[in-house]
Amino acid sequence: MTVELKANERLDDLQRNGYRIIQNPEKFCFGMDAVLLCGFAKGRESDILLDLGTGTGIIPLLMEGRYGLKHLTGLEIQEESADMARRSVALNDLQDKIDIVTGDIKEAGEKFKSASFDIITCNPPYMIGNHGIKNPEGPKAIARHEVLCTLDDVLKAVATLLKPGGHFFMVHRPFRMAEIMTKMSEYKIEPKRMQLVYPYVDKEPNMVLIEGVRGGKSRMTVEKPLIVYDAPGVYNREIYDIYGY
């Protein structure tokens, strides 16, 4: 299907199933964290997925392409991003499989039926508060800082909307690990699997991938570290595999 590109928008190839995505680099483009989250997550063809804070729809598109899930929904508070996501869904002829809903994560429990999703994914804002932000209402600030949504807001929505035994997948920052684990347990989303992501083998990790299960038992697997670069500009083989190159 042909869709209209608006000012400053571009089409990017997702290297999976021929899918493409509409992005505006002047607003916000998806990063490696979203791609790595989809590589870490798991799904089945019978699963129904909700992506909280979907942005331009990168996670539903990649999860559908990777796992062929039954149905996927992306919830996004910024209408401009939601509009790009809808047009990307149409561009890839996925209107029957992916819905994009404009709305606030804090009101997700009112928009969707309780315990109705097998999988919930989230690439939330990492930074606490809005200190040093020149434009707190800007798309990049909203995506990176807890301006409109906090970790508590995300986990409250997950606890409400995820089926018992359902799986929650999130990418975040290691410096908030203690808070993440504590709050997940508080909301009965038991941490079950974790993987740290390192830019280089001799550097500190800058991302953490986490899987939780609603009502799961207390036992967690820590997977081997994921190294992004073997050398400057040279991805590790695992990264190429995740990207589908």
pLDDT in tens, 16-35: 999 999 999 988 899 999 99
| CA geometry: angle 200, 220, 150, nearest 5 deg | 75
Residue 2 confidence (pLDDT): 79
CB proximity list for 22: less than 8 A, separation 6 or greater:
3, 5, 9, 10, 11, 56, 84, 87, 88, 91
**Residue 209 resides in a domain:** no
Residue 27 confidence (pLDDT): 85
Residue 139 confidence (pLDDT): 54
Residue 98 confidence (pLDDT): 98
Residue 145 confidence (pLDDT): 44
**Residue 241 resides in a domain:** no
Q: How do residues 107-144 score in pLDDT, each as one tens digit?
A: 999 999 999 999 999 999 866 665 444 455 555 544 55
Q: Give, in order, the Cα–Cα distances in Å from 221 to each of 36, 162, 190, 209, 218.
A: 18, 21, 12, 12, 10
**Mean pLDDT across the chain:** 91
Mean pLDDT within 148-166: 94
Mean pLDDT within 170-197: 97
**Residue 99 resides in a domain:** yes
Q: What is the DSSP letter of 119?
A: E
Q: Quick check: 146 pLDDT over 70? A: no
**Residue 240 resides in a domain:** no
Q: For 49-77, give the secondary structure using H, E and C.
A: EEEECCCCCHHHHHHHHHHCCCEEEEEEC
**Residue 212 resides in a domain:** no
Q: How do residues 32-50 score in pLDDT, each as one tens digit?
A: 999 999 999 999 999 999 9
List, in sequence order, every beta strand (DSSP E) within 110-233: 117-122, 162-172, 189-198, 207-214, 221-222, 226-227, 229-231
**Residue 207 resides in a domain:** no
Give the residue among 61, 184, 214 at the shortest CA–CA distance from 124: 184
**Residue 130 resides in a domain:** yes
Q: Quick check: 147 pLDDT over 80? A: no
pTM above 0.85, yes or no: yes
Domain around 160: 10-31+41-189
% of the chain surpassing 90 pLDDT: 85
Mean pLDDT within 174-181: 95
Q: Give the separation between CA 128 and CA 132, rounded to whole angstroms.
A: 11
Query: Domain count of the chain?
Result: 1
Q: Give the separation between CA 150 and CA 145, rounded to whole angstroms.
A: 9
The CATH number for 123's domain is: 3.40.50.150
> Do residues 222 and 194 make contact, with C-beta atoms less than 8 angstroms apart?
yes
Mean pLDDT within 50-77: 97
List, in sequence order, every beta strand (DSSP E) within 71-139: 71-76, 98-102, 117-122
Q: Quick check: 236 pLDDT over 70? A: yes
**Residue 105 resides in a domain:** yes
Q: Give, in order, the Cα–Cα distances in Å from 160 to each of 94, 107, 187, 216, 226.
A: 27, 11, 9, 15, 31
